[in-house]
Structure 1
């Protein structure tokens, strides 16, 4: 029994991602602690293949400058604004599993997870800290990303393939940075983008308010006076409306790197948090009013339009977009689960559709898996109690292992 437990512990150590601090002393989290990333070394056939993943976690917000700074101060006391309490090792699910049985295609790649501690969508920069309530706040998202890439530059320049990814706020960051990363690497390195749940539609909430855009403009005033958006072309073409470059629906026009877009057509975070459709809190629309159903359908239609426009303008674009109320797929059990297929009952999971796209040399046909049915008509759009229970159990095990190896 002890031998078995010892073997399990050894295997877990092999699978663990190790914490690495970014070397640049100016690349600081909100509270002034060093920024960091987790890394698992690639080997064998994956030795020269990389996944760069931006962590998600919303952003600082507020309807006034004071509220924005209060939000930043609160966040600076958490792992999304500080590196003080990070585990020395981490474990991830889905696309970042480190065993072949759990992740057949990518288990031995170099996997690098940029910890999100700037609070401003992995972008923006202020050279001087901002003092609020007697404490200093550092806004260094731009510096963090560029320093992270600098620390990795030697090995990335020798890579065969680099995939730029991220979920939620990290998905937005993947849209922001993918062309910049492409520009920093030799032409011999193949670069793709796989943003996950980074499309947040520009429209008012169900109550008619547009707090998200107001908050975004305040954020840009705070942290984007010394640097510009990573996608210069978007900024140059939207001088009077720079906020547009922070919405993927507008930014997609300027991204030249091939993309495989992962996106729910009924994004759960958008509906429940941004657009105040509170009936969606249980990941379905069963108890919604007709007004809420109509609003949700508007989100579906607008998201679908964004995806189809990108495909029309850039034919190599691939995608996986189920008609589910969900948010984030790649680093969750949803990545390879048969409970999320497009179309329903087709066997097309995110895992195998992404792999097919990566191996297709971006052929124009049969690489765009977008649900043609509305909620709840996809038979494999599962938000069942059992599926959610299984996910919760797996998350608990990940947390336990993380604590053990802290």
Structure 2
């Protein structure tokens, strides 16, 4: 979810909250050892991994693939740092993972997808599964092979029955949400033509906005990620043929060219984007935004005005790019980031709502073509249900 140390600690806090609060069950890890020979490996050269909870009953031939989040690394130093933890090495990953929200196997908690084959793909490449550099520097032993990891895991799942999928959904959180956008059409192409395939990125719509100091920080950062990981050949060619590859990491430049239906779950005041795009530490050397970034209730009137302007830019960007009738969106005004994997924000008695509808209900109705859902919340602090999402 983050590219800074502060963001990494917040990521760990969110994971802890999930473990403490959510109705969940534990699912064991699967290492794709056969991928190593193909060079489809994590940053440290270890085997890629995922957690699979098998479908049952009427959902036995339906597949939900969910990409884990965890930010990106844009330099050798930051990638080396990741290679020493679970975001860069499967040897550092926990052997079981808690499944809840859209990954839950309980009908009351996840009525539309509970009996599907539900997979959480572990994120260990630092490029939203787009990198592919053949050379490996012996001094660092870093492998930039995210795109190969994506394909190796898809091949493993196809062999386990996904090739016969009747319905499929590609999703993910944060950097994983971005991956579900960038790979949406690619995922569609791997499945039979008669499979019902859609994509639901959660907190993956990162916009190309300037910082509070006026610098194009996130644009430069993404360009560095793409260059380091050799991502250009694995980004949509429909985008890279028209503009600089780094710009093709932004959904606003990819979504208009994506053919597969997409539903966007996002906060208009996404706390990761506020912390790392609008007001990153490099643009706030005096720390004037520090307290505000951690809790929107601490923001001054002028900071809130800046955030309101950021919201308008976000809404203009997503509405301008997502104009297909096959698209849907749930854009609320909570100070949140990543919600569909967390039971409290996916489907609970006090979940965030738009038009008296939870995220789970909106996604389910859209996926099954029952009702379209394209709702945008009023400005902060208008939505009383946001109190239940403030830590996510």
User: What TM-score do the two structures reach when normalised by structure 2?
Assistant: 0.85
Whether 1:161 aligns to 2:174 is no
Count of residues in correspondence between the two structures:
355
Alignment of 1:2-401 (within 5 A): 15-22=25-32, 23-25=34-36, 26-61=39-74, 68-131=75-138, 134-154=139-159, 155-224=161-230, 228-238=233-243, 241-276=244-279, 277-284=289-296, 286-311=297-322, 313-332=323-342, 333-343=344-354, 346-360=355-369, 366-371=372-377, 373-382=378-387, 388=391
RMSD, aligned CA = 2.0
**DSSP-derived class of the 2:357 partner:** coil
**DSSP-derived class of the 2:90 partner:** coil
Counterparts of 2:386 and 2:79 in 1: how far apart (Å)? 36
Unpaired segments of 5 or more residues in structure 2?
1-23, 280-288
User: Cα deviations across residues 11-64 of structure 1 (Å, max 9, x unaligned)?
Assistant: xxx943221112211111111111111111001011011111111001113xxx
* Preserved contact between residue 174 and residue 195 of structure 1 (Cα < 8 Å): yes
Comparing 181-190 with 48-57, greater Cα deviation is found at 181-190
Shift of residue 326, structure 1, vs aligned partner: 0.4
Counterparts of 1:218 and 1:329 in 2: how far apart (Å)? 28
Shift of residue 335, structure 1, vs aligned partner: 0.8
Counterparts of 2:195 and 2:93 in 1: how far apart (Å)? 32
User: Cα deviations across residues 163-191 of structure 1 (Å, max 9, x unaligned)?
Assistant: 01011000110000010111122111111
Q: 1:399 maps to what in 2? A: none
Counterparts of 2:99 and 2:118 in 1: how far apart (Å)? 10
**DSSP-derived class of the 1:72 partner:** helix
Structure 1: 4+ residue segments shifted above 6 A? none
* Preserved contact between residue 54 and residue 170 of structure 1 (Cα < 8 Å): yes
Counterparts of 1:179 and 1:336 in 2: how far apart (Å)? 28
Shift of residue 159, structure 1, vs aligned partner: 0.5
* Preserved contact between residue 283 and residue 326 of structure 1 (Cα < 8 Å): no
Shift of residue 323, structure 1, vs aligned partner: 0.7
Counterparts of 2:348 and 2:314 in 1: how far apart (Å)? 23
Unpaired segments of 5 or more residues in structure 1?
1-13, 62-67, 392-406
User: Cα deviations across residues 369-398 of structure 1 (Å, max 9, x unaligned)?
Assistant: 221x100011221158xx75xx8xxxxxxx
User: What TM-score do the two structures reach when normalised by structure 1?
Assistant: 0.82
Of structures 1 and 2, the larger Rg is shown by: 1
**DSSP-derived class of the 1:280 partner:** helix
* Preserved contact between residue 209 and residue 218 of structure 2 (Cα < 8 Å): no
Shift of residue 304, structure 1, vs aligned partner: 1.2
* Preserved contact between residue 268 and residue 332 of structure 2 (Cα < 8 Å): yes
Shift of residue 79, structure 1, vs aligned partner: 0.3
